[in-house]
Structure 1
Amino acid sequence: MVISKRGLVLSATAVILTTVAVTGAGLRLSQSQAFFEESPKELVDEVWQIINRTYVDGTFNQIDWQSVRNQYLERSYKDKKEAYAAIREMLKKLEDPYTRFMDPDEFKNMQIDTSGELTGVGIQITKDEEKKQLLVVSPIEDTPAYQAGILAKDVIVKIDGKTTDGMSLEDAVKMIRGKAGTQVTLTIRRGDKEMNYSLTRKLIEIHPVRARVEDTKIGKVGYIRLNQFSAQAGQEMRNAINDLEAKNVKGYILDLRSNPGGLLYASVEIARMWIDDGTIVSTVDRQGVTDRQQANHSALSDKPLVVLVDGGSASASEILSGALQDHKRAMLVGTKTFGKGLVQSVRGLGDGSGLAVTIAKYLTPSGRDINKQGIKPDVEINLTDEARKSLQQDRNKIGTFDDPQFNKAFEILSQEVAKSPSTQRTATH
């Protein structure tokens, strides 16, 4: 999820969680609701107009968008359901899985509460339009999906025994979501193997930041695991850094593995705690208008920093890790990130339905467009199947010396500490 200063902007992934309403322009229904119910063709045109004004690609996927309008407004629609089907058909022409229409129920369900209390199985999913597959972006730590061992890039082939072939992202979300205490079975394909995961939906309270001091051969090291860029992430990160600074740590390992993203402003706020000056992220719309978020000389530490990333590090995680890498503020260790660099605006429509529209892409400070490309770590280290299984079976090993990627991060950090002026100054106090 991403929220900008200009309004509600969400990430391209669907979060399988029970939701609550958000506030914002267009979400309060009035006389216009009755109007759209009586005139479904107007709803079709409203969607066309929004795409026409704001869609990131001014060529509309190389199609004649005006002709599309004529085609769909020449039709007659006897009810809203026919209009909804036409809208979805129209949007498919853009070949953008992130630009999507939601009926009123779907729209209510995707208005995610960022307070940190969520109900569901705890995964984010997306639709790979090229392969026509439902793909796991990342499981959220300490949720049923995470505990069961579901991984980023897993393909969901069945939900409760029903094939996902041809299934929309919204329909998949509907099937996976449900009341706490009920079960859903996901059939996952990983490589050439298929596995069934029976998950019990539950209420999940997520604390985005976990931190501790690790006593090592080079002295105290601060380990911070960031699970999600929620509304509380910035303050929790600030508290963690201040606490670790007070304990005179020599350096930091920031763990962004399996962090599917969250609020844009949270990623910018956290980046400012590590980067003192310069651009953090730029967003570019189809007119080429760039909105740059800058550091503001408020960094909390200049000590050596190593960041752990993997294929489940997406969206806001990539904003943060890309900024740290471009500014040479941190070394990145792990595997290539997910590659989600598009920004969606989500708005309510006149009849209570909703529309998510890709309006911009974001770039790292050096101008890298990471969409579909991801961010490559400075030092790549893959987990073996055996190591991954060991960490899944005992999550307490994550971020310890029983974790091979953490080991590598510590090795790199030790080298950085040895040559860092900031840690040498600390030693003389």
Structure 2
Amino acid sequence: MPLRNLSVVFLAMLISVACYRTASRNRFVGTLAEAMNLVVENYVDEVDDRKLFEGAMEGMIDELDPYSKYTTPDELPKFQESIGQEFPGIGIVVELDEKEKRLKVRSPIPKLPAFMAGLKAGDIILKIDGQDTADKSLEDCTKMIRGEEGTLVKLEIKRASEEKPLTFEVQRAKIPIESVKGDRHDAAGEWIFNLPGHERLGYVRIVSFGERTVDELKTALETFGPGAKKIDGLIIDLRGNAGGLLTAAVGVCDAFLDTGLIVSTRGRNKVELEAHNARSDLAIPKNLPVIVLVDGFSASASEIVAACLQDHDRAMVAGQRSWGKGTVQKVYMLEGNKSALRLTFATYWRPSGKDIHKRRDAKDTDDWGVRPDEGLEVLISKELQEKLYQQRAERDVSAVEGMEPADSKPGKSEPPKAETKKPDSEDSTPVPPIPEPEPEGDTTGKAPVEDPQLQRAIEFFAKLKAKGAA
């Protein structure tokens, strides 16, 4: 038997084994394997067995709902990085320079290997481990820079202030992916969790829900704890946050509540699977006013947080109506942990008993998503929303003023130690399509774009304070 036919037989066996327990209820399993074999043997052109298998998997899962997904072996590492909140690298934000046709350092991340080795924003990467970067794609260059933790990557750099290229050897480390951020960095590279000109307002952004989100949030809230600076109110910004781990959303809610239902999940036929309740360990005082900012790209875990705090009158919700994703996915590993199936297995329900999921035939007048409280809805255009995302992205990667590595000359770096944790849960949610702003060059001197949704939250606290004083 030809080798390619053996491959088809193996794939057919894989499908049959995976479906063995339900074979008696699904008479199509054998037909699917037969069809794959017929295609490979008789199709007019040569067929890639792997692509055929992946196409069959994706076609089957895509028929279910927008959030169930088959994750291929090539896609799995990126998915695991987003949930695990870390990846092996050197800690730089890069882009392709149109003029040089090479990779350019947009910003080294403070306190991470590339920064400590002396790389600077604007550096052009000429070679990676001796390989020329000319005309290579961003994806190809990124793969070359990444590698096993503890290994060295050699970078040849062109710097505008230097006549000759510089050489850096940077040791790869586990690079943490932050899920909780502030408004800006201080001179030490730490996030500042308040707004310029409004030092008595706390400001915390949660950009995703991963394994370390709850710990990161509690660390941020400690800046407002006993012995720290006092605040009159707290803004939790969930705009653009497409979700993540259900357990992380529950943990975030638990930081603000000491009793009551956070969220419940229901399976087939709306049978309740689990109810998540708050515990008594508050991270901030119960009387501290809180506003949660959401927009049309706040989804899933973000909606769990916003809905829970709104239903318990623990926070006001401001901004725009959220996405409307009320389903929960579980990750099932396949092919010996080389690929995965993210399958919708439950719906989640807010404490009020409402289902926020937006059905395919839903109308704007239907009750889905999380709506802002009365007087706090601020509708903005798509153009303004994209400008605000762009501005935020630029600020997040801006060089930190006054902060320099101990030795900015070319040399070797010693990476910081990073803690790792095992997943708390296999429940996860995929992300809806959020527009990712592309860099538009140097923004120095540009007038800042006013954020009317954030401004409405600030005005709310100002009125609340004035009312209290009166």
TM-score w.r.t. the length of structure 1 is 0.59
2:194 corresponds to 1:213: yes
Asked if residue 330 in structure 1 is aligned to residue 311 in structure 2, the reply is no
> CA–CA distance in 1 between the matches of 2:72 and 2:387?
42
Partner of 1:87: 57
Residue 266 of structure 1 pairs with residue 226 of structure 2: no
Matched, 1:106 2:83: no
Distance apart, 1:46 and its partner CA: 4.3
**1:39 has 2:10 as partner:** yes
Instruction: Name the counterpart of 2:325.
Output: 340
| Cα distance change on mapping 1:393 and 1:38 into 2, 3 Å | closer
In structure 2, relative to structure 1, the CA distance for the partners of 1:38 and 1:367 (3 Å cut) is: same
Change (3 A) 1:36 1:281: farther
Shift in CA distance, 393/206, structure 1 to aligned 2, threshold 3 Å: same
Residue aligning to 2:295: 310
Aligned pairs for 1:242-261 within 5 A: 242-245=222-225, 246-261=228-243
Q: Is the 8 A contact 1:261 1:315 kept in 2?
A: yes
Counterpart contact for 1:231–1:263, Cα < 8 Å: yes
**Measured at CA, do residues 390 and 99 of structure 1 come closer, stay the same or move farther in structure 2, by a change above 3 Å?**
closer
Shift of 1:260: 1.9
- Structure 1 counterpart of 2:278, which letter? A
Would the alpha carbon gap of residues 49 and 121 (structure 1) be closer, same or farther in structure 2, given more than 3 Å must change? farther
RMSD over equivalenced CA pairs, Å: 4.0
How far has the Cα of 1:335 moved from its partner? Answer: 0.8
Q: 2: CA distance between counterparts of 1:75 and 1:332?
A: 52
Relative to structure 1, the CA distance from residue 263 to residue 359 in structure 2 (aligned partners, 3 Å threshold; closer, same or farther) is same
Determine helix, strand or coil for the equivalent of 1:293. Answer: strand
- Cα 1:262/1:101, change in 2 over 3 Å: closer
Alignment match, 1:374? 369
The answer to whether the Cα contact below 8 Å between 2:16 and 2:30 also exists between their aligned partners in 1 is no
Letter in 2 for 1:238: K
Please give the alpha-carbon distance, in whole angstroms, between the structure 2 residues aligned to 1:342 and 1:81.
29
**2:357 counterpart SS class:** coil
- What's the offset of the Cα at 1:222? 1.3
SS of equivalent to 2:64: coil
CA deviation map 1:72-114 (0-9, x unaligned): 255463655544444344434x332333334433334433354
Q: Which one of the candidate residues 461, 467, 470 is aligned to 1:413?
A: 461
More strand per residue: 1 or 2?
1
Whether 1:277 and 2:254 are equivalent positions in the alignment is: no
Aligned pairs for 1:57-72 within 5 A: 66-69=26-29, 71-72=31-32
Q: Distance in 2 between matches of 1:389 and 1:39?
A: 48
Three-state SS of the structure 1 residue aligned to 2:317 is strand
Q: Distance in 1 between matches of 2:86 and 2:70?
A: 26
Shift of 1:180: 1.8
Which secondary structure state, in structure 2, belongs to the residue aligned with residue 45 of structure 1?
Answer: helix
Greater CA deviation, 294-303 or 65-74?
65-74
SS of aligned partner of 1:411: helix
Partner AA of 1:294 in structure 2: N
After superposition, give the CA deviation of every residue in 1:237-275 in whole Å (9 maximum; x if it has no partner): 112222223322111111111112222222211111112
Q: Distance in 1 between matches of 2:73 and 2:290?
A: 45
Unaligned residue ranges in structure 2 (runs of 5+): 1-5, 41-48, 94-105, 108-136, 145-173, 183-192, 359-367, 397-447
CA offsets 1:206-255 (integer angstroms, 9 cap, x no match) = 432234234768x8221112222233321221122222233221111111
* Residues 40, 324 of structure 1: alpha-carbon distance in 2 compared, 3 angstrom cutoff: same
Asked whether the equivalents of residues 291 and 318 of structure 2 are also in contact (C-alpha less than 8 Å), the reply is yes
CA distance in 1, matches of 2:60, 2:262: 36
* Alignment partners' CA distance in 2, 1:226 and 1:36: 45
Distance in 1, matches of 2:194 and 2:51, equals 56
CA distance in 1, matches of 2:29, 2:451: 55
Residues 242 and 104 of structure 1: CA distance in aligned 2, closer, same or farther (over 3 Å): closer
Pick 1 or 2: higher relative contact order, CA cutoff 8 A, min separation 6.
Answer: 1
**For residue 436 of structure 2, what is the aligned residue in structure 1?**
none
Question: Residues 43 and 83 of structure 1 are in contact (CA less than 8 Å); yes or no, is this contact kept in structure 2?
Answer: no
- The equivalent position to 1:232 in structure 2, one of 212, 222, 231, is 212
Structure 1 residues 358, 65: closer, same or farther in 2, change over 3 A?
farther
8 Å CA contact 2:264–2:272 kept in 1: the answer is no
1: CA distance, partners of 2:138 / 2:7: 30
- Cα separation, 2, equivalents of 1:328 and 1:242: 23
Whether the 8 Å contact between 1:322 and 1:375 is mirrored in structure 2 is: yes
Distance in 2 of aligned mates of 1:368 and 1:254:
23
1:122-177 alpha-carbon deviations (Å, 9 max, x no partner): 9xxxxxxxxxxxxxxxxxxx99xxxxxxxxxxxxxxxxxxxxxxxxxxxxxxx996
Provide the secondary structure at the position in 2 that maps to 1:39. Answer: helix
> Quick one: which amino acid aligns to residue 305 of structure 1?
V
Given residue 39 of structure 1, which amino acid in structure 2 is its aligned partner?
A: F
Normalized against structure 2, the TM-score is what? 0.55
Q: Is the 8 A contact 2:243 2:299 kept in 1?
A: yes
Q: Are 1:342 and 1:358, in contact at CA under 8 Å, matched by a contact in 2?
A: yes
Q: CA deviation at 1:294?
A: 0.9
How far residue 324 of structure 1 moved from its aligned partner, in angstroms, is 0.8
Q: Per the alignment, do residues 382 and 38 of structure 1 end up closer, same or farther by CA in structure 2, a change over 3 Å counting?
A: same
Classify 1:416/1:363 alpha carbon distance in 2 versus 1 (closer, same or farther; 3 Å).
Answer: farther
**Size of the alignment, in residue pairs?**
304
Shift of 1:304: 0.7
Identity %: 33
